[in-house]
């Protein structure tokens, strides 16, 4: 495939990793970052440390979207709490043929982006990867998963669109695992059905999954929360899997008891939390469609005071 121009809006652990893989595949990538991380990328390139092989890429990096101009593809990977300041930057980078793929957590991102640039450019995606910025300019990948499941979220969703197929090919050539889907809303909600309780219970308890999942009463409440998010999804006419609860049970049974959610990690480090995109969104959407979310709402109330992090 010919080289494309790609902007990474949010070049941290997730966006930085995928951007580096795309740059390494020969595409013209521009990283949008800030602070010491931006300076490190400018000075030394962006380094990826991984069991799959280390790499360092040299690419343009800026904090000013007007310097980027229109591109072929934008990957949106900023934390959702930065959307108010970050999403307006899309206006300078989106032309008539630009595709914007959001990899943000939760289900609100696609609508929030569409409010800024319209529905036409927007694709929705869920990503499954374990990465962290360990120091400015250095991202470490733990494990080998690097999957993006993505597709259309607006308009016709009965078939794979040509632009989804084209972007899928581009990502595969960059050694990124992909699964193209007709209707990405299903995948976004199925991820949220798991992630909202997982983040909520580990964050509220300040504990990894083991003590939460092995306690029968807490495990039962965890699954009550899973059921709440599932009911909210179905009330929005999202056809999530009929066996989604069993899938989550099987997954929770399989992961190490020391596993911590990214929200818990951020909380322990005094960072800002994506509590509104994960728990708050479920609570508000449930209220709007008449679905009670008592467990989710209680977890939200416990975590919301910490959403801004420590100064």
The pLDDT score that the predictor gives to residue 130 is 86
Same domain, 208 and 139: no
Give pLDDT tens digits for 50-103: 988 999 999 999 999 999 999 999 999 999 999 999 999 999 999 999 999 999
Sequence-distant (6+) residues with CB within 8 A of 301 are: none
**Within-domain flag for 180:** no
Among the candidates 175, 203, 227, a domain finishes at 175
**Within-domain flag for 207:** yes
Looking up residue 193, the CATH number of its domain turns out to be 1.10.1040.10
Residue pointed to by tokens 């740059």: 23
Give pLDDT tens digits for 184-223: 999 999 999 999 999 999 999 999 999 999 999 999 999 9
| Domain around 38 | 5-175
Query: Contact at 8 Å (CB) between 2 and 166?
Result: no
Q: How many structural domains does the chain have?
A: 2
Three-state secondary structure call for residue 202: helix
Same domain, 207 and 67: no
**Within-domain flag for 181:** no
Same domain, 160 and 195: no
Same domain, 224 and 261: yes
Same domain, 132 and 205: no
Looking up residue 157, the CATH number of its domain turns out to be 3.40.50.720
Same domain, 33 and 155: yes
Residue pointed to by tokens 């039962």: 220
Same domain, 25 and 165: yes
Same domain, 153 and 282: no
Among the candidates 146, 175, 204, a domain finishes at 175
Output the pTM of the full model.
0.94
Among the candidates 154, 175, 196, a domain finishes at 175
Give pLDDT tens digits for 21-45: 999 999 999 999 999 999 999 999 9
What is the Cα–Cα distance from 268 to 19, expressed in whole angstroms? 27
Same domain, 55 and 108: yes
Same domain, 91 and 136: yes
**Within-domain flag for 182:** no
**Within-domain flag for 81:** yes
Mean per-residue pLDDT, 266-291: 97
Same domain, 15 and 135: yes
Same domain, 199 and 272: yes
At residue 132, φ and ψ (nearest 5 deg) are -150, 145
């Amino acid at each position: 495939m010919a080289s494309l121009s790609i902007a990474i809006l949010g070049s941290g652990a997730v966006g930085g990793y995928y951007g580096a893989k795309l740059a390494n595949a020969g595409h013209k990538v521009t990283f949008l970052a800030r602070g010491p991380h931006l300076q490190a990328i400018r000075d030394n390139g962006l380094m990826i440390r991984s069991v799959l092989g280390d790499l360092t890429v040299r690419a343009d990096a800026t904090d000013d979207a007007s310097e980027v101009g229109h591109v072929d593809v934008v990957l949106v990977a900023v934390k959702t709490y930065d959307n108010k300041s970050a999403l307006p930057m899309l206006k300078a980078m989106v032309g008539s043929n630009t595709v914007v793929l959001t990899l943000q957590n939760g289900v609100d991102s696609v609508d929030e982006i569409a409010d800024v640039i319209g529905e036409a450019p927007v694709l929705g995606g869920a990503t499954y990867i374990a990465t962290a910025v360990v120091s400015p300019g250095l991202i470490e990948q733990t494990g080998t998963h690097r999957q993006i499941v993505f597709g259309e979220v607006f308009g016709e969703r009965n078939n794979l669109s040509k632009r989804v197929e084209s972007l899928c090919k581009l990502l595969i050539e960059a050694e990124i695992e992909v699964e193209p889907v007709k209707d990405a809303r299903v995948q976004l909600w199925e991820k949220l059905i798991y992630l909202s309780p997982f983040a909520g219970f580990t964050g509220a308890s300040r504990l990894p999954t083991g003590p939460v999942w092995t306690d029968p009463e807490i495990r039962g409440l965890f699954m009550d929360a899973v059921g709440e998010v599932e009911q909210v999804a179905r009330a929005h006419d999202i056809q999530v899997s009929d066996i989604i609860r069993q899938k989550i049970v099987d997954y929770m049974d399989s992961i190490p008891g020391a596993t911590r959610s990214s929200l818990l990690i951020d909380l322990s480090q005094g960072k800002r939390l994506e509590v509104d995109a994960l728990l708050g969104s479920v609570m508000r959407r449930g209220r709007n469609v008449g679905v009670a979310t008592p467990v989710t709402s209680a977890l939200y109330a416990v975590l919301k005071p910490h959403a801004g992090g420590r100064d």
